[in-house]
Amino acid sequence: MDMTGAEWRKATRSSSNGGACVEVADNLSSVVLVRDSKDRDGGVLAFAPGSWRTFISELPARP
């Protein structure tokens, strides 16, 4: 998968407990990428933008 141009950021709903964070690159037009901040060279999940929006909309509100 070509991740050229991906701009990674900590996900807004990610916890800050001990560095257990999820990073998201949502600046690419055809895909939203997700990775573990502790293993940046590990696997990356790829979502279609519409699927990502649906996933995010189903998450419970932050406490």
Query: pLDDT tens for residues 4-54?
Result: 899 999 877 666 666 668 899 999 989 999 999 888 888 999 999 999 999
**pLDDT at residue 62 is higher than 80:** no
Share of the chain above pLDDT 90, in %: 46
What is the structure's pLDDT at 63? 65
- Pick 3 or 31 by higher pLDDT: 31
Provide CB contacts within 8 A for 30, sequence distance 6+: 48, 49
Helix (H) or strand (E) holding 51: helix 49-58
Q: Is 61 exposed, middle or buried (0-12, 13-18, 19+ CB in 10 A)?
A: exposed
